[in-house]
Amino acid sequence: MEKIKILIVEDEMIIGANIALQLTNLGYDVLGVIPRAEEVLPKIHQTLPDILLLDIYLKGDLDGIELAHIIQKEFNIPIIYLTANADEAHFNRAKTTNPYAFISKPFKKLDLQHAIELTILRIQEEKNQKSMNWKLLS
């Protein structure tokens, strides 16, 4: 089975590096840690990730939620949000992008692992559903 490819969008590089290390130790393929929203689309065009770990607060013109909306116009990539400030307004904005999970910082390695495992399970279920629908149509 191919390794799950994960792209991390986190503007605090120490946190991003720590997440990358944890994910690598769990057996995932980390495509990189990107600090700015503007750098994400070129990276996705270069290498399509299976999962996007996305910080809501990013330095630059776009926050993570705005970036998610832009990405979703072109790609169908499951998003797991990371945030240090999970207030109701941001959570409600984030919900409009149908994230697969929402992790509050600081988080435990197990929280990250569970969110990714649940996301992978949901991806597999969606693929199975599509293939069943396809079989019913043909």
pLDDT tens column, 27-58: 999 999 999 999 999 999 999 999 999 999 99
Rounded to an integer, the average pLDDT of 109-130 is 92
pLDDT at 63 over 70: yes
Tokens 């495992």, located at residue: 117
Q: What is the pLDDT of residue 138?
A: 64
Domains and CATH numbers, the chain: 5-137 (3.40.50.2300)
Instruction: Give pTM, 2 decimals.
Output: 0.92
Q: What percent of the chain has pLDDT over 70?
A: 97
- Long-range CB pairs of 80-88, under 8 A, 24+ apart, other chains included: 80/51, 80/52, 80/53, 80/54, 80/115, 80/116, 80/119, 81/54, 81/55, 81/56, 82/10, 82/19, 82/53, 82/54, 82/55, 82/56, 82/107, 83/55, 83/56, 83/57, 84/57, 85/56, 85/57
